[in-house]
Chains A and B, each alone.
Chain A
Amino acid sequence: MIRLDLGTAALRLITLLMMAFLVFPIAVTLVVAVNPREFILPPNGFTLDWFKAAWSSQTFLRGMGVSLVLGISAAFLANALALPAAMALVRNNFAGKAAINIVLMSPLLIPTTIFSLALYIYFVRIGYGSGLVPLLVGHTIHIMPYALRILTASLHNLDPSYEEAAAIVGAGRIRTLFSVTLPVIRTGLVSSFALCFILSWNDFPISVFLAPPGWTPLPVELFSYIKFQYDAVAAALASSLILLSALAIVIIDRLAGLRRVVRS
């Protein structure tokens, strides 16, 4: 019995250390961002000056705007592509369903380095080398599998008799979709949208390959900034990204359960 507890205690200790390792850089960034004495720890007070500086920088504001527009459009497109596919996959059983599922998930299996390079070369070839289209396409395709995963899971929980009832009282397919199906799976839709948005908002590898000049998303902007200086303004900016991500994590967890993000 004592041995048994020792084993559990050891596991708990290792887990605790691992969690500290995972949280440490995030916590340090948040502390530096509100510490009046730049980098001198422990903090001797609380200030939002660094945040003010970060949020009034034209470069960062522009990056934020680009990331915001990009994230919302990519999340919208990814869900628009994934929703009908998820409905077809959940409602029907057919030969080759597993294969189609793998094909739809394939953007996750391709290393982002190669995926981004391939899109870059392809768009250069068809004459769209620098434009917003490649960037939007790259983000949309990359996040679509995540949308498909969450939407499939929430459609699985949808009782088909709602839609049958709608059909019986004479609602058409479009009407059923908008008045019955979408309202019932709204939590799934919202969390899918939140996940897609945050993945796009935080993405670096795809953006660095595909962002056209003058349209630099925030993470790439932050990267070029910390290449030369890593002051507290950068910490404030990084903290803004962290807080928005934390919000998305809470939304996804409350509405769909975080595990669905990675579980197939």
Chain B
Amino acid sequence: MIRRILPPLAPALIALLIFVAFPMLWVLRTSFNELAGGAYVVDALTLDNYTRFLGDPWYLVNTLWFSIRIAIVTTVISVVCAYPVALYIAKTTGFQRNILIALIMAPLLIGLVTLVYGWIVIFRGGGLLNSLMIALRIYDDPVRYMWDIKGVVILLVYIGTPYVVLSLLDSIERISPFLVEAARNVGASRWTAFWKIVFPMTMPGLYAGLVIVFSLNFSAFAVPLMVGDSNTQMIGLIVYREALLNNDLPFASALSVIMVAVNALILAGMAALFGRLILNRLEAKR
């Protein structure tokens, strides 16, 4: 058996070992190294890179806590936007459904830079939205949407929502329509049938969507790089800046380790919360 399955799996597994596992371990190792002369990484065993970040209130508040807040806000908005859309797509069939799914997936397949360009045209100072609002006399001076926290939130919601729709759709489609029908037959209102049957059964999809979008947004660097300003220093952006612009690989590595650890902690908290939510609903039913 092993002789039959190992050779075909080996190339992919070895590639992942060499180009994912080793590099990730090397990030962990590099986070304890020192930077000498502002450019050279020197092997060491120091916690300086960690204390430099964790001991600095500016970093903690303006990057770590800021990233957590942005990720939570954008994830919540994405979920609220995605839920009705997923419910509606689940009802459609044929051509309409194909078109809807293609449109939902377009932002995932079209590159971020391209999409950002479109949003800049709409949102910049003399852009479409500001011109329209001023022409309609809703406000008089252009509002700063891009190169601002607003732009970061809009873009993160824009690229996050499709993931939530698709993972919700997965679990909605698994619900047997007979269940809802059965509930309706024994006298449950449409609302009750949704709340007691459909909603609990979409929890796995909702959770999967939350996990993807939260992780993506918490570690985002491209969006704050493209449409953020000096007040949107998300932690992923600091990693990018320290690694590529300041060449401080040990510090960037330590930040990555912190990022992964905080992300894992928050996801574990979310898993516990979701487990309890589902349990509570079950108990309430008894």
Q: Which residues of A line the B interface, CB within 8 A?
A: 3-4, 7-8, 10-12, 14-15, 18-19, 21-29, 32, 39, 41, 80-82, 84-85, 87-89, 92, 94, 100, 103-104, 106-107, 110-115, 117-122, 124-125, 137, 140-141, 144, 148, 195, 198-199, 201-205, 208-209, 219-220, 222-223, 226, 230, 234-235, 238, 241-242, 245-246, 248-249, 253, 258-259, 261-263
Contact = CB atoms under 8 A, between A and B. Distances in A.
B45 interface: no
A122 B102 CA distance: 37
Interface stretch (B58-66, B118-126, B269-277): B118-126
B200 interface: no
Interface stretch (B46-54, B103-111, B136-144, B278-286): B103-111
A22 B103 contact: yes
Contact of A121 (B23, B101, B166, B263): B23
Interface string B85-117: 101110100000010111111111111111111
B86 to A, nearest CB: 9
B87 A204 contact: no
B35 interface: no
Given A106-B16, A141-B15, A241 B81 contact: no
Nearest to A19: B103
Contacts of B252: 117, 121
A226 B120 contact: yes
Contacts of A234: 117
Q: Which 10 A-B pairs have the closest CB atoms?
A: A25-B118, A202-B111, A84-B8, A118-B23, A111-B219, A122-B23, A88-B8, A11-B88, A29-B118, A15-B88
Contacts of A141: 15-16, 19-20
B26 A249 contact: no
A219 B115 CA distance: 11
B78 to A, nearest CB: 11
Interface residues of B, number: 80
B184 to A, nearest CB: 10
Contacts of B4: 88, 92
Given A14-B84, A81-B12, A248 B128 contact: no
B240 A113 contact: yes
Nearest to B237: A113
Contact of B121 (A32, A80, A202): A32
A18 B101 contact: no
B236 interface: yes
B161 interface: yes
5 contacts: A11-B91, A25-B122, A202-B113, A223-B226, A241-B114
Given A117-B253, A141-B20, 14 more contacts: A7-B190, A14-B81, A25-B122, A26-B110, A84-B12, A103-B13, A106-B16, A110-B20, A111-B260, A119-B23, A120-B243, A120-B244, A246-B106, A258-B105
A100 B13 contact: yes
A238 B256 contact: no
Interface in B1-39: 1, 4-5, 7-9, 11-13, 15-16, 19-20, 22-24, 26-27, 30
B12 A4 contact: no
A198 B110 CA distance: 8
A219 B221 contact: no
B106 A202 contact: no
B30 to A, nearest CB: 6
